[in-house]
Amino acid sequence: MALLEKPSLGSAQARSPLSFRTLPDALLAAPPTQTFVTMWHDEQQVETETFGGFLNKARAQAASFQAHQVKRGDRVILIMPQGIPLMTAFAGCMLLGAIPAILAYPNFKVEPAKYRFGLAGVSANLKARLVVLDEAFPEDLLGHVALGDGTQVVRGAEVPSAETQFRAVALEPTDLAFIQHSAGTTGLQKGVALSHASVLRQLHHLASALDINREDRIYSWLPLYHDMGLIACFMLPLVCHLPIVMQSPTSWVMQPGTMLKLISDYRCTLAWAPNFTLQFLARRIPLADRKTYDLSSLRALINCSEPVRARSEDEFRAAYTPQGLKPEVLQSSYAMAETVFAVTQSGMDGGSGPRRVWVDAEGAAACFVSSGQCLPGTEVRIISPSGEHLPEGGVGEICIRSDSLFEGYYNRPDLTAEALQDGWYRSGDLGFCLQGEIYVVGRRKDLIIVAGNNIYPQDVEEIACAHPAIHDGRAVAFGLYNPDLGTDEIVVVAEIEEEKDLENSSAIERDLRNAIVAELGVAVRAVYLRPPRWLVKSTAGKPARAATRAKLLGERPELATGALLESTS
């Protein structure tokens, strides 16, 4: 589906990314006195860096890397907390023509065994020349970093004071700029290698779709090892010369209201967030705190989930309209690392937000929210399991062709051949096209088929998370095959908000069963309530269905044989 391209960025808007040959060229052209990064740690600790100061630190980092014999084309692994040192190290690598890859920093939200597995797998695949850690990186985890012959480990990037030590490197648009990883349920195994040209084309289309202008200011708590944080909230402001107000994901988790406070205080205009963020902020921030925020500066808060949930957006809009939130601010996008970032973007034309359609699903009305139209240079087609092209409205796998599409997974020709076919990327996502808009309904591999009916786990999870005792965004639904019935049955695993809520597990389970039957018309065979932080999460912070399913089966191996499922704990 090829859609009309918007006009190029005009003189009143930010400079077009296509005016640069490489990403370092964009940084070198930035106005040196303009504020670039404001890193908020807490009320007492806020770091601010101009583009000129950022460039000097990036050059110093590059000089340090050169001293460690890092050359053009070498891979550099960065495992550092969110902040300016991580960002300047990343930029320093690109100045050298080295290929940086940011890996997730360990935190309390990620299961240790899963983190170690992912760390070992990714580092073995990258075969890095240099691994850069911060001083606090746990020594016991260092043993899980695969070190090849000649790999050096640096704790804390050494920064020479004289930037003249950096020897400039000539770069080409076709050179690899960096490797970003697709978040998976069994560790970050798929490195997406992207050229400067691909990234700049994506940023050009994204800036055009968002009508980026010189007055924009971006807010983000999103991790830089994830495409939403790296591309939308680091590369976009770097190339378009915009200020970014940032905090770490851990800082946001500990104090969720700070997101709205920073948007309000710094008058931010753009931000990206997943469904669960909107729900959490709508349900958990006290009314007294809400009244202190002024969200009138926001012109787009973009929901980048698959699928986008109407309930999440409606709750957030209702909660924050009194704080100046305009109806059209909540927008949507469909994005993935394999296309650099965005595939689609909803219209920024002053309407009331993304389109919605209601579908009769087994006698119940289901609402689907559009993820928007394809960016220029991007096409989408929907195919059946047998590979046939489906007509408008037909639900099938989403396949993508784009001028910013990746060329393959780094050092994984097996995965590349599986995902890329005749120039089209098979996303594994299910969706449909309607009147030029893309609607995402879920993951193909997660689909639950109960007695011939397709059940999307996201629908079950959304209902479960609406219960006040369930932590927002911390429910997983999946199917287990029952050989006696010859069909899948639905199992729900959900984290309770507080451990004391387990005392009311029977009542909570009954509520969840009744709500799922009422809204979806399907019965749940088993509900397992678990304490906080029990679910396995992806590096993007989302519950990982396959890994959570495996964890439950590890505790209850009899379930894999189709044995009678017992509920709760």
Angle, vertex CA 230, rays to CA 224 and CA 234, nearest 5: 105
Tell me: the pLDDT tens digits for 461-484?
888 988 989 988 889 998 887 766
Tokens in use for 83? Answer: 């902040």
**pLDDT at residue 214 above 50?**
yes
Q: Are 404 and 336 in contact (CB under 8 A)?
A: no
| Whole-number Å distance between alpha carbons of 34 and 534 | 44
The top-scoring range by mean pLDDT among 208-222, 362-376, 548-562 is: 208-222
Read off the pLDDT of each residue in 115-140 and give the average, rounded to a whole number.
Answer: 89
Q: Are 295 and 264 in contact (CB under 8 A)?
A: yes
**pLDDT at residue 497 above 90?**
no
Give 186's pLDDT tier (boundaries 50, 70, 90).
very low
pLDDT for the residue numbered 564: 44
Provide the CATH topology of domain 447-561. GMP Synthetase; Chain A, domain 3 (3.30.300)
Q: Where are the beta strands (DSSP E) in 4-124?
A: 35-42, 45-50, 75-79, 99-102
Tell me: the pLDDT tens digits for 307-366?
888 988 999 999 999 999 999 999 999 999 999 999 999 987 767 789 999 887 655 677
Read off the pLDDT of each residue in 200-222 and give the average, rounded to a whole number.
Answer: 96
**Locus of tokens 């709205």:** 260
Helix (H, G, I), strand (E, B) or coil at 536: coil
What average pLDDT is seen over the chain? 87
Kind and range of the H or E element at 526? strand 526-530
Q: Which amino acid is at 82?
A: Q
Start-end of CATH 3.40.50.12780 domains in the chain? 272-444
The alpha carbon torsion through 77, 79, 83, 89 (nearest 10 deg) reads -20
**Candidates 3.40.50.12780, 3.40.50.1100, 2.60.40.10, 3.40.640.10; CATH matching 272-444:** 3.40.50.12780
Strand order in the sheet with 470-482: 470-482, 487-496, 526-530
pLDDT for the residue numbered 486: 66
The alpha carbon torsion through 420, 425, 430, 435 (nearest 10 deg) reads -150
Whether the ω angle into residue 307 lies within 30 degrees of 0, i.e. cis, is yes
pLDDT for the residue numbered 366: 78
Q: Where are the beta strands (DSSP E) in 17-113?
A: 35-42, 45-50, 75-79, 99-102
**pLDDT at residue 185 above 60?**
no
**pLDDT at residue 83 above 70?**
yes
Gyration radius of the chain over CA positions: 23
pLDDT for the residue numbered 272: 97
9 versus 370: the higher-pLDDT residue is 370
230 closest CA partner among 136, 137, 104: 104
Helix (H, G, I), strand (E, B) or coil at 553: helix
| Whole-number Å distance between alpha carbons of 448 and 458 | 10
pLDDT for the residue numbered 362: 58
Helix (H, G, I), strand (E, B) or coil at 302: strand
Start-end of CATH 3.30.300.30 domains in the chain? 447-561
Tokens in use for 124? Answer: 């073995």
Tell me: the pLDDT tens digits for 286-318?
999 999 999 999 999 999 988 888 988 999 999
- Cβ burial 15-27 (10 Å sphere, 16+ → b, else e): bbbbebebbbebb
Read off the pLDDT of each residue in 442-459 and give the average, rounded to a whole number.
Answer: 79
* Long-range residue pairs from 260-263, CB within 8 A, at least 24 positions apart, any chain: 260/285, 260/290, 260/293, 260/295, 260/320, 260/323, 261/292, 261/293, 262/40, 262/219, 263/219, 263/293, 263/295, 263/297, 263/298
- Non-local (6+) Cβ contacts of 378 within 8 A are 205, 339, 343, 344, 400, 401, 402, 403, 404
Tell me: the pLDDT tens digits for 236-249?
999 999 999 999 99
What percentage of the chain reaches a pLDDT higher than 70?
Answer: 89
Give 160's pLDDT tier (boundaries 50, 70, 90).
low
